[in-house]
A and B are shown apart, each in its own frame.
Chain A
Amino acid sequence: MREGGRSEAQVSYVAQAPRAQSGLTEDTFDQWVLPDGTPWTAFYRQENGYLLRFPDLADFFVSADGQRVEERAVPGVAPSTVQHLFLNQVLPLALSRQGKLVLHGSAVEVDGQCVAFIGESGRGKSTLAASFATRGRRFLTDDGLELVWAASGLSVVPSHPSIRLWQDSQEALVSASTKAAPAVEFTTKTRFLAGPEIAFCETARPLARIYYLGAGDADSAEIVPAKAADALLALIRNSFVLDIGEQEVLVRHFEELVKIANLPIHYHLDFPRRYDELPLVQAAIVRHAAAGAHA
């Protein structure tokens, strides 16, 4: 079991001795493929759970109830690589098997509440989280946004206390002394650990806003309300769900997202992709989050 009261503490984790990946008799029921066509993850249904295969990197067995993950790395693959795969890909899918709602999104704390940023890879989720966390505000997650219903409404659960950044974002946002995790083999992103320079919020916070990130066409920070149906489709697109072939899972997930989409918390956010603009973007978000529900 990993330490901590965060997302990764909700799954028991066992690392098996490394072994070469053997052929599997089952057919895949799903595959993730990189934009260049390279297979990235193959999904197999097995007795009592699922096998997630990252070719030449690692296999992960996820129990059907999502409570347990067994890792088996390919010999020679660095532990940091395997941990990266677990935190960013496998853990959110395991949590989805527990009936939890996990989205591709980052989140930061603003005045005791939380604002989340949702969008496809490259839209600036981690950059925004790092921008807040290096300028006096705390982040809750840089991806793997776990939402839970609390008595007061929807809350965000903190995930692993680290932020992954591409080289250009690192240079613009993070000082050379910030502690980083060891390098990972399949990406040039570096994982920076929370600490004095990157502030982390360790407790769940009520969710005040979700911002859907645009393509970066705006000349300055632009925030406009998002229609509920657009919000719902964006939430669906950015959800982690393991095995959409199970209809009851799909129905439960859909009903939950409909409930969230009908809340008055959804906005489109676009901003120019210039690092010198980030303090202004941050100020605009803080102002907006502090204003009324339909500001």
Chain B
Amino acid sequence: MNFKDTVKIPPDVMARQVGDETVILDLASGNYFGLDPVGARIWQLIGEGKPLEAVCETLLDEYEVSAEQAREDLARLVGQLQAQGLVSIA
């Protein structure tokens, strides 16, 4: 995964914040997915069109986490979202 990339959310994927978490609905399949608070924040940053590098920097500012850990967590989540067709890499 290239951290200079931007992640795009397809138009038939909608997400809503509930409490401090986010639930995603994939309209194409009718499937739902839940994101924990950190995942919800990443989803929000991705939705703002920030490249992954910038998303990672924001995570470092907001959470007590090492740069290595932040990149690893971000790559894992984006990989999972991509596998489910909820995001594409631009």
Contacts and interface: CB of A to CB of B under 8 A. Distances in A.
Q: Which of B18, B27, B34 has the most chain A CB atoms closer than 10 A to its own CB?
A: B18
Interface in B49-63: none
Interface size class of A (residues with CB under 8 A): 10 to 19
A198 to B, nearest CB: 36
Contact of A254 (B14, B21, B34): B14
A262 B19 contact: yes
A180 interface: no
Interface string A222-252: 0000011111110010000000110100110
B46 to A, nearest CB: 18
A247 to B, nearest CB: 5
B53 to A, nearest CB: 28
B27 A232 contact: no
Contacts of A250: 25, 27, 30
A233 B32 contact: yes
Given A233-B32, A233-B34, A251 B27 contact: yes
A261 interface: yes
A261 B30 CA distance: 19
Nearest to B18: A228
B12 interface: yes
**Which secondary structure dominates where chain B touches chain A?**
strand
B16 to A, nearest CB: 4
A168 interface: no
Dominant SS at the A interface?
helix
A35 B16 CA distance: 32
Given A245-B30, A250-B30, A229 B18 contact: yes
A266 to B, nearest CB: 10
B18 A232 contact: yes
A255 interface: yes
A258 interface: yes
Contact of A255 (B12, B16, B27): B16
Nearest to A30: B30
B30 A229 contact: no
B65 interface: no
Interface in B1-34: 12, 14, 16, 18-19, 21-23, 25, 27, 30, 32, 34
Contacts of B23: 229, 232-233, 258
Interface of B: 12, 14, 16, 18-19, 21-23, 25, 27, 30, 32, 34
Given A233-B32, A254-B14, A254-B25, 13 more contacts: A227-B21, A228-B21, A229-B18, A229-B34, A232-B18, A233-B34, A236-B32, A245-B30, A247-B27, A251-B25, A254-B16, A258-B23, A262-B18
Question: Which 6 residue pairs are nearest across A and B when measured between Cβ atoms?
Answer: A228-B19, A229-B21, A228-B18, A244-B30, A258-B16, A261-B18
